[in-house]
Structure formats: structure tokens, C-alpha cells
Amino acid sequence: MKIASTSHIDHHCNVCEPRGGCLGMQLLDDPGVSKHLKQAKRISRKGEHVFREGEDADAFYVVRSGSIKSYLVTEDGEEQVLGFYLPGDVFGLDSTELQQRMSSATTLETTSLCRFPHVYLADKAQGSNLLRITAEQMQRDHNLVLMLARKDADGRIASFLDDLACRYWSRGYSASAFLLSMSRQDIGCYLGLAVETVSRTLTRFQECGVLQVNRREVEILDHDTLRKIAGIRLDSASDCSKASGLNSA
């Protein structure tokens, strides 16, 4: 298995294949789309905005390499992280009734994207695949709501790491060793925790032998225990932990 260092993923479109096929790859089968897509690929440096809240929402994006953070600014001026997007993920589908962006998106590292104007999906079968990917991401959002309502700090961070592990595994990368492209502050904002709590919890997990942490490098040593902390039943463990041999038993 390859370690998921998202900034060093090959820039060819086949990076999305392990998750069941990239939507962009399917759109390339249409000659009319292929011609325009050559101009739609873009590489952004760390910290650059893909779009900002309030801008016209006329396109969506597929992450080819790197990672993206989506967020909005609350009424009191605070940033609220909404989610993180990895290679193969689709983002930029949220919009108001006036077709304006509901959130902002910025790069966490050097990132390569494919941009698709919404008009490309008109009367195309690929729309069903887009709906499937969107449904997966909506499920993740629902899980986040439940996590914030029911779990303590340990449970939230354990759930977050387990979700990342499974997402990396579905893309053909290691589910036990990966890089956190997001900062501790971003993780805390996303999970509703203070940055100090995130750091202390990761340190405690390391002291208990669940993880090995070296700055942004994370290695899961005991996935069963991590899942117990997250409140996930081991007999209902997802395919990623079973197939990747993460269970300690």
C-alpha cells in the first residue's frame, strides 16, 4: 500500500480509479467535454481560494491531487470548517436559490483540480454518478452532526481518523499511515474542539499505543481500539478495516 501523501499523488486522471471511477474520467468520454476539459484543469498553490462565499456557483470540481478545505464565516466573523476533500472527491455543489456559493473553498497544499461547468451534466448519464458521490458526502455530513451531538473529544477525533483512513483506503492508499494536510486548528474547528484539546488527545492516543504521531504524520497502530473509542461496533466494521488488515485480532 502507498502512504497517502496527497500532495505527491500522480497528476493523471487515474488517481480516482480506486474509488470506483472518476466522474471526470467518464466525462472525458464525451469529445465535446474533452475539448473543454483541457482548459479546465488547474493547479493551485497552498492557501489559494478555489471560490469564495457569495460568488456565482456555475461549476463544480473534482480533486485530482492535494486536498481542499471548505468553510464559511459566521455572523461574528469566526471561521467554521465544513469539510475536507481528498483526491477523487467532488465539491462545489452547494449553492443558494440565486446560484451563489454558500461557502468558500481553499487549498491545504499544492492541489490539482478539474473544473466542470454545471451545463456539462445536462441530459448526461454521468449525473447519476454525481448523485452517488454527493450522497456519500451528505452521509459524511450527517455522521458529523451525530458525532458533534453525542461524542466526547476522544470519540470525535477517533471517528475523524477512522473516516480518513477509510477514505484513503478507498483510493488505493494506506489506511494505517497517512499525512494530515489539515492543521490541528482546522481539525478542532471542524470537530467543535479547541486546538489544545486536539493536540492533547492525539498525544494521549499515542501514549496508549493507539497511534504514532510525528507532526502531521499519523500511523494507526491499533485500529480496533480506535474504533472502540469512536463508538463503532467491531462486528460492523467497514470494508476498509477488514480488507486492509487493520483489525488487531
Confirm if 83 and 77 have CB atoms less than 8 A apart: no
**Residue-level pLDDT at 20:** 47
Domain end residue (candidates: 110, 144, 178): 144
Quick check: is 108 in a domain? yes
Q: Which secondary-structure segment (H or E) carries 200?
A: helix 195-207
Quick check: is 249 in a domain? no
**Residue-level pLDDT at 161:** 95
Domain end residue (candidates: 124, 144, 164): 144
Tens of each residue's pLDDT in the chain, 249 residues: 445 554 443 444 554 544 445 555 555 455 555 555 555 677 889 999 999 999 998 888 989 899 999 998 877 788 888 899 998 888 888 777 678 888 899 999 999 998 888 776 665 555 556 656 665 766 677 667 666 767 899 999 999 999 999 989 988 889 999 999 999 999 999 999 999 999 999 999 999 999 999 999 999 999 999 999 988 765 544 555 554 555 543
- b/e burial code for range 3-19 (CB count within 10 A of at least 16 → b): ebbbbebeeebebbebb
Residues 56 and 9 in one domain: yes
Cα–chain-centroid distance for residue 232?
20
Domain range enclosing 178: 151-243
Quick check: is 27 in a domain? yes
Which one-letter DSSP state was computed for residue 95? Answer: B
CATH number of the CATH domain containing 44: 2.60.120.10
Residues 6+ apart with CB under 8 A from 197: 153, 188
SS3 of residue 130 by DSSP: helix
Residues facing 116 on adjacent strands: 60
Domain end residue (candidates: 144, 172, 194): 144
**Residue-level pLDDT at 228:** 92
Residues 6+ apart with CB under 8 A from 216: 179, 180, 181
Q: Which secondary-structure segment (H or E) carries 80?
A: strand 79-85
**Residue-level pLDDT at 110:** 94
Quick check: is 156 in a domain? yes
Residues 201 and 115 in one domain: no
Residues 67 and 186 in one domain: no
Domains of the chain: total: 2
Quick check: is 197 in a domain? yes
Q: Following DSSP, what letter does each residue of 13-78 receive, concatenated?
A: GGGGGGGT--HHHHHTTSHHHHHHHTTTEEEE-TT-EEE-TTSB--EEEEEEES-EEEEEE-TTS-
pTM: 0.75
Residues 113 and 74 in one domain: yes
**Residue-level pLDDT at 243:** 47
**Residue-level pLDDT at 181:** 93
**Residue-level pLDDT at 4:** 55
Cα–chain-centroid distance for residue 249?
28
**Residue-level pLDDT at 1:** 43
